[in-house]
Amino acid sequence: MKYNFGIDIDGVLTDEGPDNNSIWQQKMNEFFDREITLKEYTYDLAEAFAINNQELNEFIQAKIEDVYSSVQPAAEAKEILNELYQEGHRLILITARHEEHRPLTEKWLAKHGIPYHELHHEHNKAPLAVKKNISLFIDDKKENALEIAAKDIPVFLVSKYHNYDFDGNSKITKVNNWDEIRKNIKLFLSKNAHAGKLS
């Protein structure tokens, strides 16, 4: 049986670095020329780094392309996605990055040898996950995970400071890295193969 995998980019395919020295923090330090530190465990960058919304907008305008193009890929992501690709599964990347960053994103994916079948720019991921018949979704944003899981699609939620307060549930499995993602994908595939035989 072949499956459609839904995969987020930022925080999943990218390695943003440690919580207390992420690429976001490093670039903000440079941009504002003052010490920026992680203050709140929230997805909202302004709140997380205690900057105001105007500063955040200025930073995003000036530096977002720098972050997107210089961020490192997550270890093992390329190898594991290549395995899935070769096994005949479909890899559907769904990112909330703005469409204007598509050429840069395609270039980054090619540069780091990350295989995929489709790339979608979509903020509201759950309806697209349903439309694309996604069997399993991998994301790092808790709100996305909850919305996708509510559509009865299992989710692997990559552990980040902004989702530390959520341990997962029957549909959402917390994972720390791609090694754990690989183990859980194997489990998912074997469970589904077994269920297929019984039905």
Size of the site for Mg ion (CB under 5 A): 4
Please report how close the Cβ of residue 11 comes to Mg ion at its closest, in angstroms. 4
Any idea which residue has 């790092």 for tokens?
A: 140
Please report how close the Cβ of residue 171 comes to Mg ion at its closest, in angstroms. 18
Q: Which amino acid is at 8?
A: D
| 179: annotated active-site residue | no
Please report how close the Cβ of residue 139 comes to Mg ion at its closest, in angstroms. 6
DSSP single-letter state for residue 54: H
Of positions 3, 8, 24, 74, contacts Mg ion by CB under 5 A:
8
For the chain, first and last CA: distance in Å?
14
Tokens of 137: 């979704």
Please report how close the Cβ of residue 140 comes to Mg ion at its closest, in angstroms. 4
- Of 141, 167, 175, 138, nearest in space to 154 by CA: 138
Q: Per-residue contact track with Mg ion, 158 to 177, x per CB under 5 A?
A: --------------------
- Any contact of residue 16 with Mg ion (CB under 5 A)? no
- Any contact of residue 147 with Mg ion (CB under 5 A)? no
| 139: annotated active-site residue | no
- Any contact of residue 140 with Mg ion (CB under 5 A)? yes
Burial status of residue 141 (CB atoms within 10 A of its CB: 0-12, 13-18, 19 or more): buried
Whole-angstrom distance, CA of residue 46 vs CA of residue 56: 6
**Catalytic residues, which ones?**
8, 10
By the criterion CB under 5 A, which residues form the site for Mg ion? Answer: 8, 10-11, 140
